[in-house]
Amino acid sequence: MSAKPKYDMFMPEYELIRSRNEILTEEKRQRIYKEIPELKVWNDDMADSTIGYAKARLMGRSDHPIESLDDYMKNMLEERDRLLAEHGYSPDVFEPVYTCKLCKDTGFIGGEPCACLKQRIIDYFYKQSLIKRSLEVENFENFDISFYSDKEFGSYLKTPRKQMEENLEKAKDFVESFDKKSSNLLLRGSSGLGKTYLSNCIAKSVLDKGKTVLYLSSTRLFDEIIPDVMMNKNIHFENADIYDYVYSCELLIIDDFGTEQITKITLPNIFQCINERLVAGLSTVISTNLTLEDIRNTYSERIFSRLIDRYEVLEFYGENIRYKRLSEV
């Protein structure tokens, strides 16, 4: 139905990354050799001896001083590790520098695209640069709970701050257990209470774990991308590629759920998106200004039941935090 990502367009970037890291690896090696001259001698002796041994074997000679290459290598490596330890280095200090240790900067693992390549594709087609700049600020480390009032609010049993402390803890648990289980969050409350900020915190932490994250507004997803592909008519190439990742990225974040147009076509698409990700065991975070009653009245019973039964609901209430933050800038 949709075009497959064109991996070749990203390969020059990976070649550049490998070249840069090879330079960094060599610079590290030379820096250590300068600090420990004996290691340079060790390296040269190792190279000369192993090459000499190989040539002797090829020529059928039996007079080479190395009788067992395995024993020789073992003794030489022990000597190297001893020299490194004397200067406070671990044996793996000469390991190559990699930006992505999973695929070793190739973009693939066993012929399949690595998470780093998948995320590059998502970033390219969705142009997430603005979101990524937000993540530099909006993350768990910068989350300031003091913006939330510790006074009673309306008829709620917990103060806004106490409620937000619990929401924050659940969001951190969501990230902590991301590799172990599939879970979903529904962030519900009025505008300006930190739902998008907390979503960004989650996105940043999941990205830091090397997972693929796709962040879309509900209108972008359900009014543009899915209808464009499902109608299979004049498909915009970006929508076609993003569509694949809606159903395969490890975390999908849908912001402002409830702002999309509700039609006879939209409702089945929303159910399909939510349900297929549940069936596939892929996590989703949805933020909405709608009340639970609004959700029940606006969407089908099937959509409502999936959200209530399979999503953990985090409630947001209190004074508008966005105004408070802006007033302190």
Domain housing 60: 7-108
Q: Is there a single domain that holds both residue 69 and residue 157?
A: no
Q: Are 296 and 207 found together in one domain?
A: yes
Burial track 240-262 (b if 16+ CB lie within 10 A, e otherwise): bbbbbbbeebbbbbbbbbbebee
pTM for this predicted structure:
0.71
- Tell me: pLDDT of 51 over 90: no
Classify residue 1: in a domain, yes or no.
no
Judge whether 199 lies within some domain. Answer: yes
What average pLDDT does the segment 220-240 reach?
Answer: 75
Give mean pLDDT, residues 230-234. 66
**Of 239 and 290, which is predicted with more confidence?**
290
Query: What is the structure's pLDDT at 235?
Result: 55
Q: Average pLDDT of the chain? A: 86
pLDDT, greater one: 291 or 321 = 291
Give residue 128's pLDDT. 60
Note the pLDDT of residue 43: 79
pLDDT at 4: 44
Residues 101 and 138 placed together within one structural domain of the fold: no
First to last CA, the chain: 47
Q: Residue 111 above 80 pLDDT?
A: yes
Stretch 151-171: mean pLDDT: 95
Domain boundary among 82, 108, 134: 108
Same domain, 176 and 244: yes
Lowest-confidence segment of 152-156, 172-176, 282-286 by average pLDDT: 152-156
Of 78, 108, 138, which residue is a domain's last?
Answer: 108
| The pLDDT of residue 324 | 66
Higher-scoring residue by pLDDT: 230, 150: 150
Residue 179, phi then psi, degrees to nearest 5: -75, -15
What pLDDT is stored for residue 67 in this prediction? Answer: 65
pLDDT of residue 225: 87
- Same domain? 23 vs 84: yes
**Domain-located, residue 322:** yes
pLDDT band at 149 (very low <50, low <70, confident <90, very high): very high
Last residue of a domain, one of 42, 75, 108: 108
Count of structural domains, the chain = 2
Q: Are residues 141 and 269 in the same domain?
A: yes
For residue 321, is pLDDT > 80?
A: yes
Name the pLDDT band for 20 (thresholds 50, 70, 90): very high
Predicted confidence (pLDDT) at residue 6 exceeds the cutoff of 70: no
Does the pLDDT of residue 267 top 60, yes or no? yes
One domain, residues 166 and 308? yes
Percent of the chain with pLDDT over 90: 53
Would you say residue 303 has pLDDT above 80? yes
Same domain, 78 and 214: no
